Amino acid sequence: MIEVVDYGGGNVGSLLRALERLGLPYRLAARGRDLTWENPIVLPGVGSFGAVMEGLRERGHDEALIAAIAAGTPFLGICVGLQALFEGSEETPGVPGLSVLPGEVVRFREGKVPQIGWNRIEPREGLDHESGHVYFVNSFYARPREASDVLYQSDYRGLFCAAVRRKNVVAFQFHPEKSGEFGHRLLRRFLAPRTEEGRESEPEVRNLGG
């Protein structure tokens, strides 16, 4: 069972349809108290950083997410769901993020903003992960303070962080649910990997290293 955070904003329809196509059951968690800490949590963020953080705080999701992540619950963030993990964003100065990861969210300084469309992602050097093309819609991107937190990078008038990973936390700046077969493979890999015998195993995010 996947627990999808409902913070009262944004369109999560494409994500829910992707989960259905992958055969992954889900439930919406409208309040922080609805999270069980027993299942993988997905935070899909659409809109501005400030609006997303306001929605999370109004529904008690902020403290619940911080506690669930600290307890080792698998977490997957998408788009602003990645940005919310950091300390703050240039988009809404003075609005604190969840501060799960050290660093800040900054605006693209060059190129057409927002970045809309397909771009290639490559794993950080030293990581053995599949490369591919994914769909982005973003004017801002995370700048992790710890280089080891970067999972994937992409190039938009310069390299930027396209995904992060630390222990039980994985988050994508792009939209895997809109990124075709490759994006769906990423969703399955981090939410419901298979054992060699074909049985469901624990989500990979439980055992990710730094």
Q: Which residues are catalytic?
A: 79, 175, 177
Decide: 65 and 74 in contact? Cβ < 8 Å: no
End-to-end CA distance of the chain: 26
**Helices vs strands, H then E, count in the chain:** 5, 11
Structure tokens at 104: 């800040």
Q: What is the DSSP string of 61-100?
A: HHHHHHHHHHTT--EEEEEHHHHTTSS-BTTSTT-----S
Tokens 């994937």 correspond to 152
Element at 51 (helix H, strand E): helix 49-58
Which value, in Å, is the radius of gyration of the alpha carbons in the chain? 16
